[in-house]
Amino acid sequence: MPLFRKKAPEPELPSVLPEHIGIIMDGNGRWAKKRGLPRRAGHGYGAQTFRTIVKHCEKRGIRYLTVYAFSTENWKRPQEEVDAIMNLLRDYLKESLADFQTENIRTRFIGNFEPLAPDIRALMREAEEVTRDKTGLTLNIAVNYGGREEIAHAARLLAEEAAAGKLPPGDIDEQALSARMYTAGQPDPDLILRPSGEYRTSNFLLWQSAYAEYVFMDILWPDFRPADLDMALAEYARRSRRFGGV
Ligand code: IPE
Ligand code: IPE
Ligand code: MG
């Protein structure tokens, strides 16, 4: 036996990394069902995976990470499940207050927060304020987020400015819309991951994903490990992005 056990070598990192990764954190319910557990247990494990993967993205030097936590369509689920997800969000925000202070992560929320409980909204605001000047990873958590809702919201803002005489309608271009998205000022996602074996966007970052590279993975979110993210990074590095050029 050697005196010191060698640590598993770090995988060789691809030279091209995405600046912005989006993740559709899907498959919690099926993961729980496979184990004879209630769906909410799957969300609990999924929340743990989220914490692990945020740290891993930071370690890999990713600048922006946007995670899909709750969609504008997810209210259709049984009230008990919606409550469980909201409780997990509340617990995460309360537990993380100390970490928000010490870590170098800028936490932001994207979506329409009006229907959320006032105490959750207050915790979200606090997380944003405490981490506002952090210079490391920017973490966007999408809560009651829908790509269509976001586009409609941006259109409403533009219409209000135009009606108030502050914006000539002829000035409304792609940049003007981008500047009114919840992700204003951030680069578009380069890579979007969807675990769980579903091949659809489910209303995630519709506007911003015009030229995103998609990686669909046949793994349920609670089972998703840092090594799976590394595999997706390697796959991304093999892609040839042309943006309509040659
Ligand atoms: C994703 O897991 C979490 C949310 C949508 C909040 P699901 O709950 O959609 O899990 P599946 O897709 O039913 O397995
Ligand atoms: C997308 O997953 C939303 C989140 C992961 C938060 P869904 O499970 O809601 O999507 P569908 O219903 O399979 O399209
Ligand atoms: Mg799902």
* Residue 43 CA, closest ligand 1 atom number: 3
Nearest ligand by distance to the CA of 204: 2
Computed over its alpha carbons, how large is the radius of gyration of the chain? Answer: 19
Q: Which residues line ligand 1 (CB under 6 A)?
A: 25-30, 70, 74, 85, 196
- Cβ burial 183-222 (10 Å sphere, 16+ → b, else e): beebebbbbbbbbbeeeebebbbebbbeebbbbebeebbb
Nearest ligand by distance to the CA of 143: 2
CA of 236 to the centre of ligand 3 (A): 24
SS3 content of the chain, % helix, strand, coil (to 5): 45, 15, 40
120 and 149 in contact (C-beta within 8 Å)? no
pLDDT of residue 13: 82
CA of 225 to the centre of ligand 2 (A): 20
**104 counts as catalytic:** no
User: For residue 130, what are its two tokens?
Assistant: 């405490």
Answer yes or no: is the C-beta of 26 below 6 A from any ligand 2 atom: yes
pLDDT of residue 176: 98
CA of 29 to the centre of ligand 1 (A): 5
User: For residue 107, what are its two tokens?
Assistant: 């936490």
Answer yes or no: is the C-beta of 71 below 6 A from any ligand 2 atom: yes
pLDDT of residue 1: 55
pLDDT of residue 174: 98
**144 counts as catalytic:** no
> pTM of this prediction?
0.96
What are the pLDDT tens digits along the chain (246 aa)? Answer: 556 666 666 767 888 999 999 999 999 999 999 999 999 999 999 999 999 999 999 999 999 999 999 999 999 999 999 999 999 999 999 999 999 999 999 999 999 999 999 999 999 999 999 999 999 999 999 999 999 999 999 999 999 999 999 999 999 999 999 999 999 999 999 999 999 999 999 999 999 999 999 999 999 999 999 999 999 999 999 999 999 999
Nearest-angstrom CA–CA distance, 104 and 138:
9
CA of 48 to the centre of ligand 1 (A): 14
Residues 6+ away with beta carbon under 8 Å from 23: 53, 65, 66, 67, 68, 192, 193, 194, 195
27 half-sphere exposure, CB direction, 13 A CA radius: 23
pLDDT of residue 47: 98
Q: Which of 23, 28, 202, 220 most suits a substitution to test ligand 1, by most atoms within 8 Å of the C-beta?
A: 28
* Residue 198 CA, closest ligand 2 atom number: 13
Answer yes or no: is the C-beta of 70 below 6 A from any ligand 2 atom: yes
